[in-house]
Amino acid sequence: MTDRPPLSRRNTRTVIAGSVSLGGGAPVAVQSMTNTDPHNPAATLQQISRLAAAGAELVRVAVPDAAAAEVLEQLCLQSSVPLVADIHFDHRLALAAIAAGVAKVRINPGNIGSRRRVREVASAARDAGVPIRIGVNAGSLPRDIREEYGVSARAMVETALREIGTLDDVGFSDVVLSLKASDVSTTVEANEQISGRVDIPLHLGVTEAGAKWRGTIKSSVGLGYLLGRGIGDTIRISLTGDPVDEVRTAWEILAAWGLRRRGPDIVSCPTCGRCRVNMAEIVEQVEQGLVDCSEPITVAVMGCEVNGPGEAREADVGLACGEGVGLLMRDGEVVEKVTEDEMVDSLLQLVRSYLTRDCPSP
């Protein structure tokens, strides 16, 4: 229903991570990270599989030591989505991860010591066709840059340029870049600045955004803003808790802009003094009934006669409630009048019949 032109996205070069293209006009990819014990392949694979089922297209796994690196090969073989190794300081872990078959490595070359080590990692990555993500984090900037620029967007950009330069020096440019701060303004400013200076695909995230509720808001504001400005090629939402929530939130942010959609959009009114039905309960039941639906469908659940019919008319399928009764609508036409008791079941049935006709599951 929008006449806003599709978001025009900044040009970036294409980087390939396993089966996933990042940048160069590819769809914004959704990623997440496991928080299971990386030495426990069963638990980690189970979480990867839950993340993939929720829509994660890339999953990152921390590789804190050699034992975790040894588990990686099994993870890579059994995961249905490409895996990214998260490595700090120890270049041998990067080499082991590449050998294990990861699709991408997140490592900061400035952290791993000598130029010889950087060259070794870059050479292994090049041979394996594995890109490297440079991850600049406001919480761990090089001391000299921090002293010169403070902890700031500028300092993050300078750090990124230095890291890019370190890989450039050894002839490696198959990189993705992230600049993350735990506050939205700094994250936005750093990404705006860097996107004007390099054509490297950008991985977006507000780091340490917090627990589910607060982290969802910070990420939605920050990543939503950048995506709205055409910036960002892959996103990861950071939430303290079950990472499946990160994936669901990422998809919902992309859907909000119409960039991508997975699963239903349920439009429902906040209710007001005019509402005569228990909307919160009805919407909750509809949400629950559609929790496993990955089809893009717009469902309106409206509580009164003022905005109800209008919104329900614009949706694929809608329910406009009055006192004790509801009008079921499909493609803007009323199809049935139902009682309050029947509303939820009838609406879910209408959704199913709509999807069966129009959008058969792949």
End-to-end CA distance of the chain: give it in Å, rounded: 26
Distance, in Å, from the CA atom of 89 to the CA atom of 87, rounded to the nearest integer, reads 7
Choose, by CB under 8 A, the member of 25, 171, 241, 324 that binds its own copies. 241
- Name which of 132 and 236 has its Cβ closer to its own copies: 236
Choose, by CB under 8 A, the member of 57, 174, 189, 233 that binds its own copies. 189
Residue 60 phi, psi (nearest 5): -100, 145
| Contacting its own copies within 250-289 (CB under 8 A) | 252-253, 256-258, 265-275, 279-280, 283-284, 287
| Contacting its own copies within 12-51 (CB under 8 A) | 33-38, 44
Is there binding between residue 10 and its own copies (CB under 8 A)?
no
Q: Identify the bridge partners of residue 49 per DSSP, sorted by sequence position.
A: none
**Could you tell me the two tokens for 311?**
């919104």
* Local structure of 15: helix, strand or coil: strand
Interface with its own copies (CB under 8 A), residue total: 92
| Contacting its own copies within 87-146 (CB under 8 A) | 88, 137-141
- Nearest Cα to 130, choosing from 164, 89, 94, 184? 94
Is there binding between residue 197 and its own copies (CB under 8 A)?
no
Query: Within 13 Å, how many C-alpha atoms sit on residue 123's CB side?
Result: 8
Q: Give the interface segment with its own copies, choosing from 17-25, 122-130, 297-305, 353-361 (CB under 8 A).
A: 297-305
Q: Work out the number of other CB atoms within 10 angstroms of the CB of residue 309.
A: 19
| Contacting its own copies within 310-339 (CB under 8 A) | 310-311, 313-314
The CB-of-256 to its own copies minimum distance in angstroms stands at 4
The CB-of-130 to its own copies minimum distance in angstroms stands at 20
- Name which of 73 and 265 has its Cβ closer to its own copies: 265
The CB-of-163 to its own copies minimum distance in angstroms stands at 16
The CB-of-76 to its own copies minimum distance in angstroms stands at 15
Sign of the torsion angle spanned by Cα atoms 71, 14, 245, 80: negative
Q: Which element (helix H / strand E) includes 120?
A: helix 115-128
- Name which of 287 and 342 has its Cβ closer to its own copies: 287
- Nearest Cα to 82, choosing from 121, 153, 32, 117? 32
